Amino acid sequence: MLERITYKNHVNEVIEFGTEGVYANESDLHDFTWGVKSKNNKISSFSRGVITKSLPVVIACTSKEEGIAKRNKLFEVMEKDVLANKHGRITIGDYYLKCYVTGSKKSDYLRSKRLMIVTLTITTDLPYWIKETVTTFGYGAGSAGKNLDFNNDFPYDYASELAAKPLNNTSFVPCNFRMNIYGPCVMPKVTIAGHEYGVSVTVAANEYLQIDSINKTIVLTHTDGTTTNCFNLRQRDFYIFEKMPVGVSNVTTNTEFKFDITLLEERSEPKWT
């Protein structure tokens, strides 16, 4: 059975393999190898740099016009990423690999313009299959003196615990993430399983602040599309790029604002389903 795969370039043009005359044969996309470093005949670390894979493709169309169109589209969609130096994405199931198509070897293309066999060379410097899961939060943690504060007004505000909505990381390891915090809010802070993610910044209405743990960036996007680097405004009592823990975690905030968390599950191979 041929595998269903898609390729999307950086301008969102898509090639679908497994339908309409373009098919992907069995490949090494599911394979992986860790590089091993050693010291004194002991394994010291593992790593992966730039890797290449091969994707055998069959173009088999019902007319020569369609066959020619598919040949040209296959090249043009993928070549745009190389020329722009911007990753495309190969997707298998729920997982994608950021990559480029850096080679194409053809055969059986003279027998008929309806037919061609192509082997694509896939190259990536980000050798992880990623699944994105978004959880949206639209609540506030309350303020002191409200909800379950007692008559004696204890210094601890119990409202934040009751307002919590869980975050569920179903992966087998902690996940990288993107956190978008939407304005208006001042000095927003999100606490997840006791770990704080805070930035000393004002986010105006229709602006958003993004914390990206993979790229290690904190960026405020303004209403006109311009951006401000807020890395130096991060609160430093906790590591702000700490990965999200496995399982269900309580989530609270220090004030009312909307935000979402995108879990980035990274695997050496896409999950079998």
Per residue, the 3-state secondary structure of 78-129, as one string, reads: HHHHHHHCCCEEEEECCEEEEEEEEEEEEECCCCCCCEEEEEEEEEECCCCE
Q: Which amino acid, one-letter code, is at 208?
A: Y
| Start and end residues for every CATH 2.40.30.200 domain found in the chain | 5-127
| Start and end residues for every CATH 2.60.120.880 domain found in the chain | 131-267
User: How far apart, in whole angstroms, are the C-alpha atoms of residue 162 and residue 139?
Assistant: 11
3-state secondary structure of 169: strand
Report which DSSP code applies to 271.
P
User: How far apart, in whole angstroms, are the C-alpha atoms of residue 33 and residue 55?
Assistant: 17
Question: Are the CB atoms for 160 and 253 separated by under 8 Å?
Answer: yes
Architecture, CATH, for domain 131-267: Sandwich (2.60)
Question: Are the CB atoms for 165 and 137 separated by under 8 Å?
Answer: yes
**The predicted structure's pLDDT at residue 144:** 33
Q: Which amino acid, one-letter code, is at 80?
A: K
- Quick check: bond before 184 cis, omega within 30? yes
Question: Are the CB atoms for 123 and 99 separated by under 8 Å?
Answer: yes
User: What CATH number belongs to 5-127?
Assistant: 2.40.30.200
Question: Are the CB atoms for 67 and 116 separated by under 8 Å?
Answer: yes
Report the candidate in 27, 265, 268 with the shortest Cα–Cα distance to residue 128.
Answer: 268
Per DSSP, what are the bridge partners of residue 121? 54, 103
Q: Which amino acid, one-letter code, is at 123?
A: T
**The predicted structure's pLDDT at residue 141:** 42
Q: Phi first, then psi: give them for residue 131, nearest 5 degrees.
A: -115, 130
Question: Are the CB atoms for 8 and 98 separated by under 8 Å?
Answer: no
Question: Are the CB atoms for 60 and 93 separated by under 8 Å?
Answer: no
3-state secondary structure of 205: coil
**The predicted structure's pLDDT at residue 1:** 61
Per DSSP, what are the bridge partners of residue 258? 182
Query: Which residue carries 């679908």 as its tokens?
Result: 16
3-state secondary structure of 43: strand
H/E stretch holding 75: helix 64-84
pTM value is 0.85
Q: What residues contact residue 91 under an 8 Å CB cut-off, 6+ apart?
A: 5, 6, 7, 8, 97
Over the chain (273 residues), the average pLDDT of each successive run of 10 is 89 94 94 94 94 96 96 97 98 97 95 95 97 85 35 35 73 97 96 97 97 97 97 97 97 93 97 92
**The predicted structure's pLDDT at residue 139:** 53
3-state secondary structure of 71: helix
